[in-house]
Amino acid sequence: MAYEELIIDQKIIDPEMEQEEQRQAKLIFDLNHTFSGSQEYADIMNELFSGRIKDGSKVLAPVYGRYMHKIEIGKNVLINGGFTAMAFGGITIEDDVVIAPNVQLLTDNHDPYDRTILICKPIVIKKGAWIGAGASVLPGVTVGRYAIVGTSAVVTKDVPDYAVVAGVPAKVLKILDGERFESEGQ
């Protein structure tokens, strides 16, 4: 699913959006208070992500965020506990991604002059990427194929395929050998 930049004026009350926010807040509460190995947990997770979570993927509680129905999760993805997603701008997580504990994916930002205006840009996490514990990925960023985002990094710009980034703001430390991923059938 492709998303584009979205401007939201929070001064304008949208009853449908408010109702959806309340529905999702309840689903997040229920998910965070349900045993993760149960069918009930799987059902809540599927409803929270509006069926956009593919086979073999797991999202471990606790989960925090808004607009979770704007997240698409590929196959064999692991999202560890403490995941926060401000997803109004849309988030795409491709197959085989690993997201460590306490990661933030933040598609929403405030206009610096009128903070009731949200400027939302999509985030894309490409196949096989690994996001380290406590990292934050900011609006409009794409994390490339098999890239690694270091622990507590703040990612403000696109990460190239196979890159290892770390720091605040995140900077490329090295590029992994992409052929090794391809030769191992990944």
Give the model confidence (pLDDT) of 59-103 as tens digits.
999 999 999 999 999 999 999 999 999 999 999 999 999 999 999
Low-confidence winner among 3-7, 75-79, 145-149 (lowest mean pLDDT): 3-7
The verdict on residue 118 lying in a domain is: yes
Domain membership of residue 1 (yes or no) is no
Q: Is residue 145 part of a domain?
A: yes
d(CA 89, CA 107) in angstroms, rounded, equals 5
* pTM of the complete model beyond 0.85: yes
Question: 176 in a domain, yes or no?
Answer: yes
Two tokens, residue 177: 């050998």
- Say which residues have a Cβ less than 8 Å from residue 167's Cβ, sequence separation at least 6: 150, 153, 154
**Domain-located, residue 179:** yes
Domain that holds residue 177: 6-183
The reply to whether 69 falls in a domain is yes
Where residue 148 sits, what CATH number does that domain have? 2.160.10.10
| Total domains, the chain | 1
